[in-house]
Amino acid sequence: MLETTENPATLANDDPITSDPRQFSAKVNAWMPHEIMLTDAWFPLAHSFAVDKKPVRRAVYSQPFYLWRSPDGEVLAAENHPNDPLADTKSEYTDESGHYPVLEKYGYVWGWLGKPENAASEHVPSIPYLPEDGGLPLHMLGTVRFDCCAPLSLENLIDLTHADFIHADVVGDEKMDSEKVEVFHDSETITMVRTCVNKSVAPIMKMFGGVRDDVQQVRQVIRIYLRSHAAIAYGRFSPGDNVQLFHPCVPETRDRTRLDYAMNTSNVKKSNLFRYMMPKASYKVSRQDSSMTSPQSPRYMRPEKRKDLHSPLDEAGQKYRVLMTELAERQARGDFAYRDDVSADCSDIIGYEKA
Amino acid sequence: MTETVWWAVARSEEVSAEKPLSVDIGDQPIVLWRDTDGAVRALEDRCPHRRAPLSLGCILGNGAIQCGYHGWTYDGASGRLIDIPNLKSERKFPPVYKARSFGVHESAGFVRICLDAKAPLPADDGYTLPLSGTSTVALEHGQYIAALFDDPSLLISIKGVRFSPYLLSELCEQEGQLVMERSCQWASPHWPAPFTSDFPISLRIATDPVTGESDLTLRDDEFNLLLHATLAPVPGARRVTQVRWRAILSPERHGLAAKAMGVGTPLRVHDHIDGAALRVLKPSASIHADDLREKIAASVEQQDKVA
Ligand code: FES
Ligand SMILES: [Fe+2]
């Protein structure tokens, strides 16, 4: 925790990543992902299709969200079940009637956890390849769960060297001529771009995508919206089809994560099996991730004297840790303002090529 | 958990060069495997990169262990990091880049681990008993050993043998071990134990005061060996006890019942314990165990001082 006596005005200009290398590494190594609870954020709580007249229950940090639709189709979010006669608890996150701010965009129901008066639609993350009014076919959508802390799931995602080992049978192994990792950030997002030269072709593209070559050029982007715990995973493969995945990690509790994914494969030819198989790969891939993140998670629950060891390939993960910690510290000081715009179109940042 | 104790965490046949094995001593997870020379290696089952269990990884052709998460690769003997495949460069890593390693000793079909990697190796102990097994029991280590002293029938079965409640010798100290001897009967119909003048068989138990590793010797009334077994209970995660055991049936056994021991499995070590029976088990032989342990520890200390 930073000194409360420090002047917030000077901190506002401080980039926690460039300021002081010693402080940076101290923050990296003090990583306590289960202690981080970020508020004043939109969380993608459910696919729009999953919310209907009958309330469904979701949670963010164990705080209940009941979601349902009014007769005219409008989504409501409340902290008590509408049939609960004894419900009179109202947290600071809901209005007098116990309702949270809620909206629909990109085919998701987004619930606001934070001060209701701060809820504003401009804080919904930009996801360039999802249609704003939703409507993707159901075979591109799905739910997977992790018994792991959400920030660990996202740290796992942003270090893609893991994919060469635990997802080798889906996306290809570590064999390639060279790889380059670049990392960009602001106070609300971190973006990692990994460029691989002559990488082993992803087996799933060989099997279902009609790729005949042995190697392919790969450019993978992971962009995390820190507060919303939501990531864009965008891959360009040549030869091969681009992969357009929205990968939220909602912290239902501090040690359980819900991932309502959307894998938009409408860029893939209708006659190509890859269009239908790739979204289903999430079921396999998520179990592979879980085999590591599940035993990992309890090992990050308590302060640990021994520092994690890092390699130059971990730049993105380390920066993610520092940015999350910084946001949490800022919120602990009572500063909930967005200093950067998360809803501005990020197509250029992620190198998204519209089909 | 004393750092310098050697725990029998595996049987030799459980440790291979194909698949890493995860074991634990108390709350300390350990990964075991064999390198190219067949030597057993033991590291903390926790990759120092992102804390994933190394036992989920694989053993490479050069005998090193590779973490399954991001591929960091460690030398088994020293625990040092030797490769990060994605870096695509031959490089030396600074010495802090290492996983914690432990002392390893393999003898008589048991793999023993000492948390202190620099501890002096124990003496080799004899030959490998041919029968063996592993059982995991939801009972705390100290309670397991106490039950072995008070009523072995809750923990083990010996083919055709009934343990009586009568002792030939209560628990005492002999050469640094806790030793007792119990009268036994054959399971065939016979005069009830309380009215029996002489018993046909006896079971001697000699137990290490710290590890609880126990030698069981079953003899007939002519002092012929029937069965010899070693039971190695090790405290595991969540207070369960893992018991590795090895045994041999004497090839020469006299009498029908003794001969019948060779049909099927002569020794079984239970995975499940009858909680209701355990709860009402009267503490008897075990009552003196702690005093004896203290006495043994004190005399060891005394010897160390003299030396
Ligand atoms: S956790 Fe073992 S290599 Fe990353
Ligand atoms: Fe993954």
The ipTM (two decimal places) reads 0.90
Per-residue pLDDT of B36-58, as tens digits, reads 999 999 999 999 999 999 999 99
Cα of B235 from ligand 1 centre, angstroms = 27
Q: Is residue B12's pLDDT more than 70? A: yes
Angle made by CA atoms A279, A281, A283, in degrees to the nearest 5: 105
d(CA B269, CA B245): 8
Ligand 1 atom closest to A162 (CA): 4
Chain B partners within 8 Å of A174 (Cβ): 71, 85-86
**pLDDT reading at A173 higher than 80:** yes
Q: How far is the CA of B46 from the centre of ligand 1 (A)?
A: 9
Encode pLDDT of A107-132 as tens digits.
999 999 999 999 999 999 999 999 99
Summarize pLDDT for A28-75 with one digit per residue, the tens: 999 999 999 999 999 999 999 999 999 999 999 999 999 999 999 999
Once rounded to an integer, what is the mean pLDDT over residues B186-197? Answer: 87
Q: In percent, how much of chain A has pLDDT > 90?
A: 80
Per DSSP, the residues of chain B read --TT-EEEEEEGGG--SSS-EEEEETTEEEEEEE-TTS-EEEEESS-TTT---GGGSEE-TTS-EE-TTT--EE-TTT-BEEE-GGG-S--PPPTT-B--B-EEEEETTEEEEESSTTSPPPPP--PPPSEEEEEEESS-HHHHHHHHHH-GGGTEEETTEEEEEEEEEEEEEETTEEEEEEEEEESSS-S-GGG-SS-SEEEEEEE-TTT--EEEEEEETT--EEEEEEEEEEE-GGG-EEEEEEEEE-S---SHHHHHTTSS-SEEE-SS--HHHHHTPPP-GGGGHHHHHHHHHHHHHHHHHH-
Instruction: Say which CATH architecture domain B131-302 belongs to.
Output: 2-Layer Sandwich (3.30)
Tell the residue nearest (CA) to atom 4 of ligand 1: B70
CATH hierarchy code of domain B6-114:
2.102.10.10
pLDDT band at B1 (very low <50, low <70, confident <90, very high): low
Atom of ligand 1 nearest to the CA of A292: 1
Q: What is the C-alpha to C-alpha distance for residues B106 and B112, in angstroms, rounded to an integer?
A: 6
Average pLDDT over residues A204-212: 88
Which ligand sits nearest to residue B85's alpha carbon? Answer: 1
Q: Which of B60, B67, B69, B72 would you mutate first to test chain A, the one with the most A CBs within 10 A?
A: B69
pLDDT at B20 over 80: yes
Sequence ranges of chain B with CATH classification 3.30.530: 131-302
Q: Among all residues of chain B, which has the CA nearest to that of A309?
A: B49
Does residue B162 line the site of ligand 1, with CB under 6 A?
A: no
Compute the residue count for chain A: 355
Rounded Cα distance between B122 and B227, Å, is 25
Domains of chain A by range and CATH? Answer: 41-132 (2.102.10.10), 141-301+310-333 (3.90.380.10)
Say if the Cβ atoms of A313 and B86 lie within 8 Å.
yes
- The whole-angstrom separation of Cα B244 and Cα B45 is 20
Residues B48, A292: C-beta atoms closer than 8 Å? no
